[in-house]
């Protein structure tokens, strides 16, 4: 099969490689589209290797058709969306049955591939973990990104007040169109002062750089979830400030979870989110689609900071 490989100089190239063989409980999916994520950029740079035993090929989500159902009760030709630990940037990928999802009604393969990772990430964190409710105010960092655009819509559906940070007027306009109530340009404004003691929930992609500011913004009994480290991995935690607010900090990642845990999250996400996608309550937000062989261009676009929503690679 054709797949994307990382060259010695950390570039992406299309190569020929063996088609995956199936283990017990896996299906072989013919990939039609694969989502692009910041984690993919980290892996390409050598900073985010896949869990032991998983595919070395980049790609955490895809959509396509089951080519071989293996030992499962699935059917050949069944359209599916897939949460992956790796392998999406390829013509075929082996997927554990518990990480398969139906294609939302009315969605194309590209549209389905654009929502798998964001839907499972957002729902598992601000739905399943923090229990966001309509009484809450949530601060979403990186509001115009793939996670952010989805999280805004989900939080507004729940009825929460939504504050976002983004780095340009255009990106903040995108956030406003999706329903964000409080718009903060992090290049010109201090989110910590604007949101001081107001945030019941915080969804953070920055890590160390925003740690103290997030504590300032956190409300009494607030809950901050760190899901990204774009602002560094080491920061100083003022435990006194956290204690004074009876605050909670969680740090989560999907990729390293075991397959049973992923299957639990996938099932809960489909049960709670898929109808919202099908009814248009939450919409996919695709910035652009590119062919698989242009994976390097997609990564360069994402690194530029000019992308809103998701990039998707299509496989001919």
Q: What is the pLDDT of residue 97?
A: 98
Q: Per-residue pLDDT tens for 39-83? A: 999 999 999 999 999 999 999 999 999 999 999 999 999 999 999
Provide CATH code, domain 2-115+255-314: 3.90.180.10
Q: What is the pLDDT of residue 204?
A: 98
Task: Tell me how crowded residue 20 is: count the other CB atoms within 10 A of its CB.
Answer: 20
Cα distance between residue 28 and residue 281, in whole Å: 32
3-state per-residue secondary structure call for 22-73: CCCCEEEEEEEEEEECHHHHHHHCCCCCCCCCCCCCCCCEEEEEEEECCCCC
Fold for the domain defined by 119-251: Rossmann fold (3.40.50)
Q: Per-residue pLDDT tens for 108-137? A: 999 999 999 999 999 999 999 999 999 999
Tell me the helix, strand and coil percentages in the chain, rounded to 5.
Answer: 35, 30, 40
Is pLDDT of 316 > 90?
Answer: no
Bridge partner residues of 28 (DSSP): 68, 94
Please, where in the chain does CATH 3.40.50.720 lie? 119-251
Please, where in the chain does CATH 3.90.180.10 lie? 2-115+255-314
Is pLDDT of 247 > 90?
Answer: yes
Over range 209-228, report the average pLDDT. 98
Query: What is the reported pTM?
Result: 0.96
């Amino acid at each position: 099969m054709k797949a994307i490989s990382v060259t010695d100089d950390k570039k992406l190239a299309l190569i020929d490689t063996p088609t995956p063989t199936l283990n017990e409980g896996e299906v072989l999916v013919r990939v039609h589209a694969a989502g692009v994520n910041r984690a993919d950029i980290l892996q390409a740079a050598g900073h985010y290797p896949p869990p032991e035993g998983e595919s070395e090929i980049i790609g955490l989500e895809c959509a396509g058709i089951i080519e071989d159902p293996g030992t499962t009760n699935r059917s050949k030709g069944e359209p599916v969306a897939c949460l992956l630990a790796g392998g999406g940037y390829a013509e075929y990928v082996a997927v554990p049955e518990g990480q398969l999802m139906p294609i939302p009604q009315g969605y194309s393969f590209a549209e389905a591939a654009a929502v798998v990772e964001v839907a499972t990430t957002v729902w598992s964190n601000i739905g399943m973990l923090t229990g966001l409710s309509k009484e809450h105010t949530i601060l979403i960092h990186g509001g115009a990104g793939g996670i952010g655009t989805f999280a805004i819509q989900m939080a507004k559906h729940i009825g929460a007040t939504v504050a976002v940070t983004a780095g340009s007027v255009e990106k903040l306009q995108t956030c406003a169109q999706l329903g964000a109530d409080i718009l903060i340009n992090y290049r010109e404004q201090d989110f910590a002062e604007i949101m001081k003691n107001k945030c019941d929930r915080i969804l953070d992609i920055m890590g160390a750089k925003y740690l103290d500011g997030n504590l300032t913004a956190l409300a009494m009994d607030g809950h901050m979830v760190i899901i990204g480290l774009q602002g560094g991995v080491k920061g100083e935690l003022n435990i006194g400030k956290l204690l004074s607010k009876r605050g909670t900090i969680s740090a989560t990642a999907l990729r390293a979870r075991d397959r049973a845990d992923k299957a639990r999250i996938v099932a809960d996400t489909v049960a709670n989110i898929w109808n919202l996608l099908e009814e248009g309550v939450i919409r996919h937000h695709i910035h652009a689609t590119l062919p698989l062989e242009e994976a390097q261009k997609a990564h360069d676009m994402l690194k530029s900071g000019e992308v809103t929503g998701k990039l998707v690679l299509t496989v001919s």
